[in-house]
């Protein structure tokens, strides 16, 4: 019996450890490389994320593609066999890799069979240290980056971007407010010297985090110290300050999307105010609440929108919370009225305590199953690096539990204190107005033809 109890305790403990996704084996090597290691439940596989702390926002609008171009170049090969040879080596090891450059970081994403994890980490290290940036490779990589961005940036596209026709509603607003570059950054003027400088100043161990989740090799810590631990640290570079709102934007605008159609999308974008002591989870919870409120009002009660949604997005140093709805073109005024009434009611009565409690419980429950498997866990750590400290990631469920109805109401009142920005996306013509226009033109042609015949007869 005692033995059985012991086994139960043991099983409980290992399961508890495996389930606690927020505690990891995390430490820094002497050269500053941050390691985050987590034994995962799935056997035979590891997920690797190498996060380099350099992204698009670290450069001016003209040079913004530098880290992205360098990311592509790092896949151009580590010897004479070039890009193809490098890919062949990865194939032979049974792994897959990719990389992404975002506004905040550049990340190498690898899925690998556990038995080859050290060989694959060797290959990644080779890519970081042995890639030669030749002029030929730079010009090839520029073509790829250009193609990825939708081909050569034509005069027409540049003009459309300046007219805000090439941006989504939130991006358009961010450009207007000075939070985002107005035009797509180009690659053709970027030089080898610039690329080498980015590599030299930012691709250093003290600016990197290496996340490995899964069936970890027992020799991994010693291996990492010997190999990645030998990378030379650099004097850290300062990140550029994040863009702040530095221009005024129109309170309301219509944005043309396509030529003909009877649909429209309504966006109401609100900058999230900075409130001392307010956690990010409060805004997530408020987002959930507003999405449910939109759904109840616009879909269930009024049948105006099929899938209205609330969204949070960050541009530069500003977060936005937006309320959005897909609509029939002629229903836009009615939907705006419904949203105005919703706002007035929320300001007057506050959030419904029952709905708030239900959505808060759902958000806490979601934390138990939201991150499944090695890859998702590695991605989760990558996204949460800002909340990491000494072997622990902040526990979102714990933070959600602490949010009170009063706190959420206070945040809501501050959010609604500013009028925000309305953006309505719709095609140039509705079908009805287009058919009217065509009929008008036809009528005009007939009148002209008839009068011309009458004039000739005279
Ligand atoms: Zn790319």
Question: Over the stretch 364-380, which tens digit does the pLDDT of each residue have?
Answer: 999 999 999 999 999 99
Contacts of 294 (CB under 8 A, 6+ apart): 305, 308, 309, 310, 323, 325, 339, 342
Region 380-408 average pLDDT: 95
> What's the pLDDT score for residue 19?
56
- Which pLDDT band, with edges at 50, 70 and 90, does 81 fall under? very high
Between the CA of 101 and the centroid of ligand 1 the distance, in Å, is 7
pTM score, two decimals? 0.87
Between the CA of 126 and the centroid of ligand 1 the distance, in Å, is 20
- Rounded CA-CA distance 430/210 in Å is 52
> What's the pLDDT score for residue 2?
46
Between the CA of 148 and the centroid of ligand 1 the distance, in Å, is 6
- Enclosing H/E stretch for 367: helix 353-367
- Which pLDDT band, with edges at 50, 70 and 90, does 5 fall under? very low
> What's the pLDDT score for residue 17?
47
> What's the pLDDT score for residue 332?
96
Q: Tell me the residues surrounding ligand 1 (ion) with CB < 5 Å.
A: 148
- Rounded CA-CA distance 158/225 in Å is 49
Question: Over the stretch 291-333, which tens digit does the pLDDT of each residue have?
Answer: 999 999 999 999 999 999 999 999 999 999 999 999 999 999 9
How much of the chain exceeds pLDDT 90, in percent? 80
> What's the pLDDT score for residue 458?
78
> What's the pLDDT score for residue 168?
86
> What's the pLDDT score for residue 390?
92
pLDDT reading at 9 higher than 70: no
Between the CA of 65 and the centroid of ligand 1 the distance, in Å, is 10
Spell out where 316-441 has E strands: 318-328, 388-389, 392-393, 421-426
- Enclosing H/E stretch for 37: strand 34-39
Q: For all residues of the chain together, what is the average pLDDT?
A: 91
Where b means 16+ CB within 10 Å and e means fewer, 43-72 reads eebbbbbbbbbbbbbbbeeebbbbbbbbbb
Between the CA of 321 and the centroid of ligand 1 the distance, in Å, is 28
């Amino acid at each position: 019996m005692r033995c059985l109890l012991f086994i139960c305790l043991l099983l409980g403990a290992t399961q508890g450890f495996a389930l606690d996704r927020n505690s990891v084996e995390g430490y820094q090597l002497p050269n500053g490389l941050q390691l985050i290691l987590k034994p995962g439940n799935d056997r035979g596989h590891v997920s690797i994320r190498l996060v380099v702390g350099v992204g698009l926002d670290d450069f001016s609008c003209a040079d913004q593609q530098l880290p992205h171009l360098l990311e592509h170049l790092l896949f151009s090969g580590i010897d004479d066999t070039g890009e193809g040879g490098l890919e062949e080596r990865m194939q032979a090891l049974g792994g897959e890799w990719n990389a992404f450059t975002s506004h905040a970081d550049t990340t190498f994403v690898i899925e690998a069979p556990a038995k080859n994890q050290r060989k694959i980490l060797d290959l990644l290290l080779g890519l970081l240290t042995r890639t030669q940036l030749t002029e030929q490779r730079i010009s090839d990589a520029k073509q790829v980056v250009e193609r990825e961005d939708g081909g050569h940036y034509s005069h027409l596209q540049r003009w459309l971007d300046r007219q805000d026709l090439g941006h989504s509603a939130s991006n358009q607003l961010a450009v207007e407010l000075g939070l985002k570059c107005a035009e797509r950054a180009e690659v053709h003027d970027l030089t080898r010297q610039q690329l080498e400088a980015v590599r030299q100043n930012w691709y250093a161990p003290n600016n990197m985090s290496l996340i490995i989740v899964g069936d970890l090799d027992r020799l991994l810590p010693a291996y990492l110290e010997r190999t990645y631990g030998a990378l030379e640290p650099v004097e850290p570079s300062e990140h550029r300050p994040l863009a702040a709102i530095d221009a005024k934007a129109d309170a309301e605008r219509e944005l043309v999307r396509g030529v003909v159609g009877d649909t429209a999308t309504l966006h109401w974008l609100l900058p999230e105010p900075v409130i001392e002591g307010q956690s990010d989870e409060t805004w997530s919870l408020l987002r959930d609440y507003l999405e449910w409120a939109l759904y109840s009002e616009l879909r269930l009660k009024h049948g105006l929108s099929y899938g209205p949604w609330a969204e949070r997005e960050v541009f530069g140093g500003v977060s936005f919370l937006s309320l959005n709805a897909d609509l029939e073109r002629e229903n836009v005024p009615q939907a705006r009225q419904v949203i105005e009434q919703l706002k007035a009611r929320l300001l007057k009565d506050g959030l419904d305590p029952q709905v708030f409690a239900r959505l808060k419980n759902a958000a806490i429950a979601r934390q138990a199953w939201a991150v499944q498997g090695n890859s998702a866990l590695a991605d989760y750590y990558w996204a949460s690096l800002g909340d990491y400290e000494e072997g622990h990631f902040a526990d979102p469920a714990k933070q959600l539990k602490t949010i009170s109805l009063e706190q959420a109401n206070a945040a809501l009142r501050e959010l609604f204190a500013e009028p925000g920005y309305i953006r309505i996306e719709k095609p140039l013509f509705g079908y009805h107005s287009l058919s009217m226009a065509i009929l008008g033109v036809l009528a005009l042609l007939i009148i002209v033809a008839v009068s011309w015949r009458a004039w000739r007869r005279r």
